[in-house]
């Protein structure tokens, strides 16, 4: 019997990527097993890598090697070398998918420092640097979809660097990202090998909106709980279809360009009252990616139900968003706040990671002294 994740790809046109990466997963064969089960890509972020570094001693030998090679190496350079090594190994594991899909899947994503989210020039320089260091065609650089990030996306797409535009919450910002992508393509002399996705966040929206609806407490408000994130994503998908069926895009496709696919991110269910695969089952549709945390992936394999849902009840999705507005809850304000909080959260994880590496470096140096 075909697994759910293989069926999603073969019958529904949706790729499953794993939203997790650590060294043990790569070196002990776990990622290869997931690839063989149908996982077609990997995403990571500073929060995930912080958990990987602080949760085990898997990186100690590599840190020792780096310190032996350069006694003055600081924690930022240690972080960079460690994450580059992980991404290179993971990209090599996923390379057969990249090759067999002709460059559509098989990617591993690596994020620029979240502290650069509001500095387009610094983001471009950091992305170029990581692109050169990893040196794998199936790398994707994650760039936050902030307003300054849009210019960085345009520049990097023009240069032929694969981009995963992350921290997208609103349909309006998603539409602006599509425009930045298309402008970048116009300045790219040979875009045929280029790939890009847009990470549209899901569960965080329901967490924030549900709290606001709970404060209102009316039957109309409670009826919208757990419904807004999916409605928002469905309208984003309609924007995708409109944009990528336009003459502008068809002109680019004649140059060999592949679609910039929507990627559903933050798809682990945070409210235990909701079905644990809610944000997988309700967002199934062609030309999309869903990146799943390991526990959500396991749950979907165990009991996920397969049906093309992404274009069901689109008018109802619009009605729900209109009703939310009539209740006095501004989704535009919430999504803006979530973007800012998302950047701050990743920056905090990045800083915590550097602190942990500084401590680890001290402990290992102390070990040498004894």
Identify whether 217 is part of a domain. yes
pTM of the model: 0.95
| 62-121 tens-digit pLDDT | 999 998 888 889 999 999 999 999 999 999 999 999 999 999 999 999 999 999 999 999
Task: Report, as an integer, the average pLDDT of 335-348.
Answer: 96
Distance from C-alpha of 163 to C-alpha of 174, rounded to nearest angstrom: 14
Output 248 or 240, whichever has higher pLDDT. Answer: 240
Identify whether 160 is part of a domain. yes
Task: Report, as an integer, the average pLDDT of 250-259.
Answer: 90
Identify whether 370 is part of a domain. no
% of the chain surpassing 70 pLDDT = 98
| 18-42 tens-digit pLDDT | 999 999 999 999 999 999 999 999 9
- Structural domain for 339, as ranges: 4-364
Residue 144, domain CATH:
3.20.20.70
Q: Could you give the number of structural domains in the chain?
A: 1
Cβ contacts of 76 within 8 Å, gap of 6 or more: 354
**Do residues 30 and 96 lie in contact, with contact meaning Cβ atoms separated by under 8 Å?**
no
| 277-329 tens-digit pLDDT | 999 999 999 999 999 999 999 999 999 999 999 999 999 999 999 999 999 99
Tokens 């407490």 -> residue: 217
| 113-170 tens-digit pLDDT | 999 999 999 999 999 999 999 999 999 999 999 999 999 999 999 999 999 999 999 9
Annotated catalytic residues are 142
CA 2 to chain centre: 26
Say if residue 123 is exposed, middle or buried (CB neighbours under 10 Å; 0-12, 13-18, 19+). buried
Please determine, for residue 228, whether its predicted confidence score (pLDDT) is greater than 90.
yes
Identify whether 369 is part of a domain. no
**Do residues 4 and 301 lie in contact, with contact meaning Cβ atoms separated by under 8 Å?**
yes
Number of H helices, E strands in the chain: 17, 8
């Amino acid at each position: 019997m075909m697994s759910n994740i293989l069926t999603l790809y073969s019958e529904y046109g949706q790729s499953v990527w794993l939203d997790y990466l650590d060294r043990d997963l790569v070196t002990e064969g776990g990622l290869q097993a997931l690839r063989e089960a149908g996982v077609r890509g990997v995403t990571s972020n500073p929060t995930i890598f912080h958990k990987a570094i602080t949760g085990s001693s898997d990186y100690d030998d590599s840190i020792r090697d780096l310190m032996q090679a350069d006694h003055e190496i600081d924690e930022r350079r240690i972080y960079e070398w460690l994450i580059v090594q992980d991404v290179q190994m993971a990209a090599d594991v996923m390379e057969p998918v990249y090759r067999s899909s002709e460059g559509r899947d098989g990617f591993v994503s690596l994020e620029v420092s979240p502290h650069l989210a509001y500095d387009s020039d610094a983001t471009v320089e950091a992305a170029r640097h990581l692109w050169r260091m990893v040196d794998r065609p199936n790398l994707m650089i994650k760039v936050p979809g902030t307003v300054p990030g849009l210019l960085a996306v345009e520049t990097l797409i023009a240069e032929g660097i694969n981009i995963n535009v992350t921290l997208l919450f609103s349909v309006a910002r998603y539409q602006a990202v599509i425009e930045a992508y298309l402008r970048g393509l116009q300045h790219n002399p040979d875009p045929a090998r280029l790939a890009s996705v847009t990470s549209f966040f899901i569960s965080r929206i329901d967490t924030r909106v549900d709290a606001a609806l709970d404060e209102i407490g009316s039957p109309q408000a409670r009826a919208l709980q757990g419904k807004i994130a999916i409605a928002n994503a469905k309208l984003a998908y309609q924007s995708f279809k409109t944009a990528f069926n336009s003459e502008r895009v068809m002109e680019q496709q004649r140059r060999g360009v592949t679609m910039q696919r929507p990627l559903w991110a933050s798809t682990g269910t945070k409210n235990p009252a909701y079905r644990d695969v809610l944000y997988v089952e309700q967002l199934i549709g062609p030309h999309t990616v869903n990146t799943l945390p390991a526990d959500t992936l396991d749950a979907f394999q165990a009991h996920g139900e397969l049906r093309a849902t992404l274009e069901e009840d689109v008018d109802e999705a619009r009605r729900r968003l209109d009703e939310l507005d009539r209740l006095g809850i501004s989704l535009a304000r919430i999504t803006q706040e979530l973007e800012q909080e998302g950047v701050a959260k990743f920056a905090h994880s990045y800083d915590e990671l550097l602190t942990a590496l500084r401590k680890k470096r001290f402990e290992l140096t102390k070990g040498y002294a004894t």
